[in-house]
Structure 1
Amino acid sequence: MSRVLRIELRRSAALGTALILLVIGTISLYFAEGIEFASGWMQLAMSQRLYLALLWPLALAAGAWQSSREHRSKVGELFASTPRPRAHRMVPTLGAMAIAVVCGYLAMGIAGGLWIIGTARYFPVSVFVVTAVGALALIAAAWLGQAIGRLLPSLVTAPALGVAGLALLLLIPGATRPRGWLALVFSPIYEMNMPGAYATVPGRASLSQAIWLAALATTAVLLLASGGWRLRVAAVLPVVLGATLAIAIMPRDNRYVTDAVDQAAMALVCADDEPRVCVSRVHSGLLADVTSPARQGLTILAKLPGAPTQVHEDTTTYPDVYPVWHDDVALVRIVTGESVTAADVVSAAFQTPPQCDRPTASADSLAAAYWLIGTQPVASDSPDLAEAVARWEALRAAPAAEAQAQVVALRTAALTCTTDSNILSRSAR
Structure 2
Amino acid sequence: MSLVTDRRTLVARAPHPLRAEALRGFPPFAGAAVLLTLGVLLAGSAARWQGGWAETATQTHTTVLIAAPLAAAAGCWQGGRERRRRTEELWGTAVRGRLARFLASALPVALWTAVGYLAAAGLAMLATWPYAQGDRPHPELLPGDTVAVAAAALLGHVVGRAVPTRLAAPLLAIAGYVGLGVPSMSHSGSARHLNPAFPVLAPDAPVWWQPVSMAVWTAGLAFAAVLAYAARRRVTALLPLAAAVAAGAVLTQTGDGLWHEAPLARRQVCDTSTTPAVCVNARYAGMLPQVVDALSGITGKLKGVRNLPVRWEERDHESHDAEAQLPNLMPLGWSVVRGRLTDPREFAWEATAALERRPDCLHSTERMRRADDAVEAYLAPSPVQERFDEIDARGDAAHRADLRKRLAARAELAGMGAEERRDWLSAYFATAGTCDVKGVPAL
Task: State the Cα distance separating 1:106 from its structure 2 match.
Answer: 1.9
Match of 1:184 in 2: 193
Distance 2:49 2:370 in 1: 32
Structure 2 residues not aligned, in runs of 5+: 1-13, 330-334, 393-401
With normalisation by structure 2, the TM-score equals 0.75
Distance 1:386 1:284 in 2: 39
Once the two structures are superposed, the pairs formed by residues 201-350 of structure 1 within 5 Å of their partners are 201-203=206-208, 205-227=210-232, 231=234, 235=237, 238-239=240-241, 241-251=243-253, 253=255, 260-270=260-270, 274-275=273-274, 277-307=278-308, 313-316=313-316, 321=317, 325=320, 327=322, 331-334=326-329, 335-337=335-337, 338-339=341-342, 341=344, 344-345=347-348, 348=351
Determine the C-alpha separation between the residues in 2 that align with 1:362 and 1:57.
56
Q: Is the 8 A contact 1:298 1:309 kept in 2?
A: no
Q: Deviations over 1:311-361 (max 9, x none)?
A: x55132xxxx568x573777343242234637745753552699x965999
Distance 2:440 2:150 in 1: 62
Distance 2:324 2:313 in 1: 10
Q: Which amino acid in 2 is paired with 1:418?
A: T
Tell me the residue number matched to 2:169: 158
Partner of 1:378: 383
Over 3 Å counting, the alpha-carbon distance change for 1:90 and 1:268 in structure 2 is same
Shift, 1:363, TM fit: 8.2
Equivalent residue number for residue 181 of structure 2? 170
Long gaps (5+) in structure 1: none
8 Å CA contact retained: 2:78, 2:106: no
- What secondary structure sits across from 1:304 in the alignment? coil
Question: Which amino acid in 2 is paired with 1:412?
Answer: A
Distance 2:390 2:351 in 1: 16
TM-score (norm 1): 0.77
Deviation for aligned residue 1:5:
3.6
Q: 1:411 aligns with which of 429, 432, 437?
A: 429
Q: 1:331 to 1:160 in 2, by over 3 A?
A: closer
**Structure 2 partner of 1:369:** 376
CA RMSD of aligned residues (A): 4.0
Checking the alignment, whether the CA contact within 8 Å between 1:200 and 1:261 is kept in structure 2 is: yes
Distance 1:254 1:381, change over 3 A: farther
- Return the match for 2:59 from 25, 47, 50: 47
CA contact (8 A) 2:72 2:172 kept: yes
Aligned to 1:82: 94
Q: How far apart are 1:149 and its partner, in Å? A: 1.2
Aligned to 1:397: 412
CA contact (8 A) 2:35 2:119 kept: yes
Structure 1 match to 2:398:
none
Quick one: which amino acid aligns to residue 66 of structure 2? L
Q: CA deviation at 1:114?
A: 4.4
Whether the aligned pair in 1 keeps the contact of 2:279 and 2:314 (CA below 8 Å) is no
Contact 2:377 2:410 in 1 (8 A): no
- 1:351 is aligned to 354
* Of 93, 109, 114, the match for 1:102: 114
Paired with 1:308 and 1:164, the residues of 2 have a C-alpha distance of 55
Q: Describe the shift of the 1:148–1:223 C-alpha distance in structure 2 as closer, same or farther (beyond 3 A).
A: farther
Match of 2:139 in 1: 128
C-alpha distance in 2 between matches for 1:91 and 1:145? 13
Which one has a bigger Cα radius of gyration?
2
| Secondary structure at the counterpart of residue 280 of structure 2 | strand
User: Which letter does structure 2 place at the counterpart of 1:370?
Assistant: A
Query: What's the counterpart of residue 70 of structure 2?
Result: 58
Find 1:10's aligned residue among 5, 17, 23. Answer: 23
- Which residue number corresponds to residue 68 of structure 1? 80
> Is 1:144–2:144 an aligned residue pair?
no
Go from structure 1 to structure 2 and tell me whether the alpha carbon gap of 1:384 and 1:420 turns closer, same or farther (over 3 Å shift).
Answer: farther
Where does residue 25 of structure 1 map in the other structure? 38
Alpha-carbon distance in 1 for matches of 2:148, 2:389: 48
Partners in 2 of 1:349 and 1:218 — Cα distance? Answer: 59
Secondary structure of residue in 1 paired with 2:94 = coil
Q: How far is the alpha carbon of 1:178 from its aligned partner?
A: 7.3
3-state SS of paired residue (2:48)? coil
Task: Give, as a single letter, the amino acid of the residue that structure 2 aligns with 1:191.
Answer: P
- Displacement of 1:117 in angstroms is 1.9
Counterpart Cα distance in 2 of 1:364 and 1:92:
77
Secondary structure at 2:205's aligned position in 1? Answer: coil
- Structure 1 distance, partners of 2:370, 2:176, is 50
Identical-residue share of aligned pairs (%):
22
Contact 1:41-1:113 within 8 A present in 2 as well? yes
Bigger shift: 38-47 or 14-23?
A: 38-47
Secondary structure, aligned partner of 1:279: strand
SS in 2 for 1:302: coil
C-alpha displacement of 1:165? 1.0
